[in-house]
Amino acid sequence: MEILMAILASILFATAIYNLLQKQFLRIIIGTVLLSHAAHLFLLTMGKLKRGNPPVLVEGVTNYADPLPQALILTSIVISFGVTSFLLVLAYRTYTLNKSDNMDELRGSSDE
Amino acid sequence: MIYAVFAPILFAIVIPFLSRMKHKIHTGWLILPVPLLVFIYFVSFVGSGFESQVSNYSWIPSLDISLSFHLDGLSLLFALLISGIGSLVVLYSIYYLDREERLGHFYTYLYIFMTAMLGVVLSDNVFALYAFWEFTSLSSFLLIGYWHFKERSRYGAIKSLLITVSGGFSLLAGLISLTIVTGTTSIREMVGQADVILESSFFPLILIFLLLGAFTKSAQFPFHIWLPDAMEAPTPVSAYLHSATMVKAGIYLMARFSAIFGGEPSFFVLLSLFGIITLVCGSYMAVRQTDLKAILAYSTISQLGMIMAMLGFGTDIAIFAAVFHILNHATFKGSLFMIAGIVDHETGTRDIRKLGGLMTFMPMSATLALFGTFSMAGVPLPFLNGFYSKEMFFDASLQLSGYAGTFVEVLATVLPYLAVIGSIFTFVYSMYLFFGTFRGKYKEEQLPVKPHEAPFMMLLSPIILVVGVIVIGLFPSLFNNGLLTHAADAVFGAEVTKEISFWHGFIPPLYMSLAVVALGTVLYLTKTSWEKVYTIIPGNFSFNRIYDWGVNQLEAASNRITFTYMNGSLRLYMILLLASVTTITGTVLFISDGINFEVSDVAPVTVHEVLIAIVMAIAAVATIFVTNRIAAILVVGVVGYGLAILFVLYSAPDLALTQLIVETVTVALFLLCFYHLPNLTKRTESIAHRGMNALISVGFGALMLVISISAYNSQFFSTISDYFTENAYKLGGGDNIVNVILVDFRGMDTLFEVSVLFGAGLAIYSLIRLRKNKGAK
């Protein structure tokens, strides 16, 4: 199962990167969202899958799934959510100011 | 001794304050005593009973860098030149520079230079020497660019800085190599280990590095090109830096190290060859110039070449002649520069084609120039010092024996002839300089100012120098015992005694001198008929063009390179970043044999997980192809919700919960933004572009796949999660292990994750509400 999940994660990585390399701001944001999904899946897979019950202590059960990767992913999900929402608003502001969402047109001014 | 060295630079601190009263009293008068006192201090050492002095001052003891000053004969000669001519130049500049000029700047730069130059010739520590060396380059840069509003001044200043500083770096490399080889930073101790240096495998490198440093500083072929352009400096600067002191720093360096390298065939060949080439080319090119200072600049180049060649000869007579000529050259060349400045000052031009017949207007200057130019030409008269050193130069060039090896022998045979050729041209330009300026037809209509004699005080400095020319000419052995033999001893490393007299009898050097005078006279008189030769040699060729071309090409090439990859496109930067990450990581994985596909201990495959994975993969790929934005966000949502289901299946309830909520909110946000953003457009990119993107993304995905599979089996340590599982209740008092980790075991993460959200919220708020530009929406 881990192999399969690794393959899925790398497909997500590949599609995320392809989206990141596009011109439109919206596609780039979609790329970042996919990239964080891929990273989360990657983290979970590396912590080994299906090794027991959900990590909530129950009397008599000794076999639990690894709780540490889950805690890490939880933190990461929240952070990437913050970044994604910021990016979306940034895209909105950029578009209203520059009337363009094409990355090739959004270059720095020449006197930088 | 440290006070003598640092007196000028310490005094430079108060110069800006003194220069405020320049309208009452010329700043030069107030600061003239400084170099004079330094000169008197060094004069007190002169005498036949001279012993070398050492004084040490700690600077950076942990690196063995100290301000240790070593005053031997050579240093004394140079220190006297620097402080003596320094005083004369300050005196001269009082009348040369108008009070409207920025006098504070001028004298500050000049005094920085004076200290730096004294430091160069007195330092025993190689790193202190290098520090002072670069200070001379910097202050020279400031002085050449003194009239910074002139384009030529800026060009000359930058050129001299580029050339001398690149030579300076080479010198630093040489000095560091010397320190590594000998294990000491003191020049005196290095001389003691001369055989260690000569036998070291570093020796060729050291020699090349030091030679590059000396050649660039002393304007030797082919690095001479900065000196003529440095003539944009005020004339006192040209007289001081570019004839008497700074350009002799390279000479000093070679003289200082010839106690180590002397007698080495490679040292002889390089120094003599480049010195003699510089002599011949410099004097040949000097005849062609029309600007008084340009003639003098090329003349300086050629005379420096002559001294360099004599240092290369390395015989006792050659060394003595070199030391003697250092003194002589400083006297007559300093005075000639000052005369050129006076002519410029009183007639308004330095163009020799417009000058002529000035003898009647400026009899004093003409007399001084007569002595200066004839001494420079080496006319055999018993009251001109230039003749003695030139004859000794011929004598030394004839006595080159003891060198074996084909090329070395050929060079030793050719050298006297080249010396004579160089001297003939020296004679020609000296005559041209004098007769062209002061004799001939007076061209009144071409002169901007009606010429008249300069004030006496302005003439005082060149008078003193010319008196020096004559005194040395009349009594050539006057300074021998007190000064010159000590200097020659220090260079040669053994006792050198030499009596100089005018008449040696009918010997070859005399014939050579007579030949120079005879042929020189003929060539001068027929100058107009053979001048066309300059259109053939060098014709259009010059090292200036190579320099300009090189600098331009360097700028253009670096511009091209920078704008190729820094084109402002974020996508290109992304591509470069990802491509390098992929290739570097992939290569390292491959080289270090990290790829490992053998996987044991995997969870069993189940059908519903496989189905979800397939749906997610299809959705992910679909994000690339959809052109409808609602469809795009839906397929992204499918991936997110699919991930949430996977979290459920893999026993992660908290993750599943959070993922569902976050995914929902994100989709909502996307939908909100869609209202304002344009729809997704069809791609209009070329196949090659798309192929490139596809290649990079597939490559990156494959890399991640290889890494994850290879890493899966490489678990070198047991996991620490067991600790969390065991102690969640005991220490944290909670049943939910993930939550206990988040708020208890690793609560710090959560704190800052909260602040990230807070920061993102603030940023979003300010993006929406704050408008710096009210005009924009």
Residues of chain B in contact with residue A84, where contact means CB-CB under 8 angstroms, are: 666, 669
Closest residue on chain A to B576 (Cα): A21
Query: What does the pLDDT read at residue A46?
Result: 85
Smallest Cα distance from B151 to chain A, Å: 25
Res. B450: pLDDT tops 80 = no
Beta-carbon contacts of residue B415 (< 8 Å; ≥ 6 apart) = B272, B276, B309, B397, B400
Determine the Cα angle at A36 with ends A30 and A38, to 5°: 100
CB of B184 closer than 8 Å to CB of B190 = yes
- Is the pLDDT at B161 greater than 80? The verdict is yes
Say which DSSP state B247 is in. Answer: G
What integer pLDDT is reported at residue B351 of this predicted model? 86
Q: Which helix (H) or strand (E) holds B53?
A: strand B53-60
Residue A112 above 50 pLDDT? no
The whole-angstrom separation of Cα B531 and Cα B598 is 86
pLDDT in tens, B235-250: 999 899 888 888 999 9
User: Whole-angstrom distance between the N-terminal and C-terminal Cα of chain B?
Assistant: 72
Better-scored residue on pLDDT, A97 or B573: B573
**pLDDT of res. A35:** 94
* Res. B614: pLDDT tops 90: yes
What's A99's DSSP letter? S
Total CB pairs under 8 A between chain A and B: 263
Within a domain: A59: no
* Domain-embedded: residue A58: no
Closest CA–CA distance from residue B602 to any residue of chain A (Å): 6
**What confidence category does residue B727 fall into, taking pLDDT thresholds of 50, 70 and 90?**
confident
Q: Do A74 and B670 touch (CB under 8 A)?
A: no
Chain centroid to Cα B120, Å, comes to 16
Contact call for B680 and A91, based on CB within 8 A: no
**H/E stretch holding B66:** strand B65-71
Alpha carbon distance B744, B733 (integer Å): 10
Lowest mean pLDDT among B53-62, B383-392, B591-600, B767-776: B767-776
A90–B767 CB contact, under 8 Å: yes
Q: Give the confidence band of B577 by pLDDT, cuts at 50, 70, 90.
A: very high
* B44 C-beta neighbours (distance < 10 Å), count: 8
User: Which residue matches tokens 């530009």?
Assistant: B773
Average pLDDT over residues B61-76: 90
* Cβ-based contacts of B609 with chain A (< 8 Å): 1, 4
What pLDDT is attached to residue B558?
A: 93
- A56 falls within a domain: no
Residue type, A60: G
Beta-carbon contacts of residue B79 (< 8 Å; ≥ 6 apart): B4, B38, B42, B71, B118, B121, B122
pTM: 0.82
pLDDT at B501 exceeding the cut of 80 = no
Whether B505 has a pLDDT exceeding 80, the answer reads: no
DSSP labels for B677-718?
SPPPPPP---HHHHHHHHHHHHHHHHHHHHHHHHHHT---S-
Q: Name the pLDDT band for B715 (thresholds 50, 70, 90).
A: low
Tell me, what's the pLDDT at A110? 53
CB A55 within 8 A of CB A68: no
Q: Which of B405-419, B478-492, B567-581 has the highest mean pLDDT?
A: B567-581
Instruction: Give percent of chain A with pLDDT exceeding 70.
Output: 93
pLDDT at B170: 95
- Using CA coordinates, name the residue in chain A closest to B751: A75
DSSP string, A46-97: HT-S--SB-SB--TT---B--HHHHHHHHHHHHHHHHHHHHHHHHHHHHHHH
- What the block records as the tokens of B737 is 């292990």
- Are B652 and A65 a contacting pair at CB < 8 A? yes
CATH number at residue A12: 1.10.287.3510
Question: What is the per-residue DSSP string for B166-205?
Answer: HHHHHHHHHHHHHHHHHS--BHHHHHHTHHHHHHSTTHHH
Rg of chain A in Å (alpha carbons): 19
Mean per-residue pLDDT of chain B: 87
CA dist., res. B487 & res. B330, Å (int): 16
Structural domain total, chain A: 1
Judge whether residue B52 has pLDDT over 90: no
Interface test mutation site (partner B, options A15, A59, A86, A98, max chain B beta carbons within 10 A):
A15
Question: Which A positions 50-69 lie with beta carbon below 8 A of chain B?
Answer: 50-58, 64-68
Dist CA B499 CA B511 (whole Å): 20
Assigned token pair, B217:
């500083």
- What domain range includes position A101? 2-51+64-105
* A111 has a pLDDT exceeding 60: no
Q: Is residue A99 part of a domain?
A: yes
Q: Smallest Cβ distance to A11: which of B574, B617, B680?
A: B617
pLDDT at residue B760 in the model: 94
CA distances from B525 to A27, B291, B522, B528, B530 (A): 84, 20, 5, 8, 10
pLDDT at residue number B401: 66
Nearest CA in chain A to B598: A3
Judging contacts by C-beta atoms under 8 Å, the chain A residues touching residue B638 are none
Instruction: Identify the pLDDT of residue B563.
Output: 86
Per-residue pLDDT tens for B543-567? 888 899 999 999 999 999 988 888 8
Assess A36–B contact: CB distance below 8 Å, yes or no. no
Please give the Cα distance from B296 to B334 (Å, whole number): 10
**How far is B115 from chain A, CA to nearest CA, in Å?**
42
B254, B271 in Cβ contact below 8 A? yes
For the ranges A58-72, A92-106, B487-501, B543-557, the maximum mean pLDDT occurs at B543-557
**Counting Cβ atoms within 10 Å, is residue B712 exposed (0-12), middle (13-18) or buried (19+)?**
buried
Coil, helix or strand for B68?
A: strand
Residue B115: its pLDDT value, please? Answer: 93
Phi and psi (nearest 5°) for B234? Answer: -55, 145
Q: Which of A44, A46, A64 sits opposite B737 (nearest CB)?
A: A64
Residue A74 lies in a domain: yes
CA distance B422 to B393: 12
State yes or no: cis peptide before B363, omega within 30 of 0: no
Give the residue from chain A lying closest to B669, CA to CA. Answer: A85
Task: Pick the residue from chain B with its C-alpha nearest to A19.
Answer: B624
pLDDT of B76 over the 70 cut: yes
**What pLDDT is attached to residue B349?**
83
Q: Give a yes or no: residue A28 inside a domain.
A: yes
- Mean pLDDT within B494-501: 72
Which residues are within 8 A (CB) of B50 and not within 5 positions of it... i.e. 6 or more apart? B73, B76, B482, B486
Which pLDDT score, from 0 to 100, does residue B581 have?
A: 92
In a domain, A33, yes or no: yes
**Residue A112 covered by a domain:** no
CB contact under 8 A, A64 and B578: no
B615-B616-B617-B622 Cα dihedral, nearest 10 degrees: 90
Segment B602-621 shows an average pLDDT of 89
Which pLDDT belongs to residue B777? 43
> Do residues B80 and B42 make contact, with C-beta atoms less than 8 angstroms apart?
yes
Which of A13, A27, A74 has its CB closest to that of B654?
A74
Q: Is B776's CB within 8 Å of A97's CB?
A: yes
Q: Which of B603, B721, B735 sits opposite A2 (nearest CB)?
A: B603
Residue B15: which residues within 8 A CB-CB, separation 6 or more? B27, B31, B104, B107, B108, B111
CA distance B580 to chain A (A): 14
Band of pLDDT at residue B632, cut at 50, 70 and 90: confident
pLDDT at position A108 is: 63
Q: What is the pLDDT of residue B209?
A: 93
**Which residue of B562, B689, B715, B721 to mutate against A (max A Cβ within 10 Å)?**
B721
CB B119 within 8 A of CB B96: no
Which range among A4-18, A37-51, B491-505 shows the weakest confidence by mean pLDDT? B491-505
Interface of A with B in 71-90 (CB under 8 A): 71, 73-75, 77-79, 81-86, 88-90
For residues B81 and B689, which has the higher predicted lDDT (pLDDT)?
Answer: B81
Tell me whether residues B654 and A92 touch, CB distance under 8 A.
Answer: no
pLDDT at B405 over 70: no
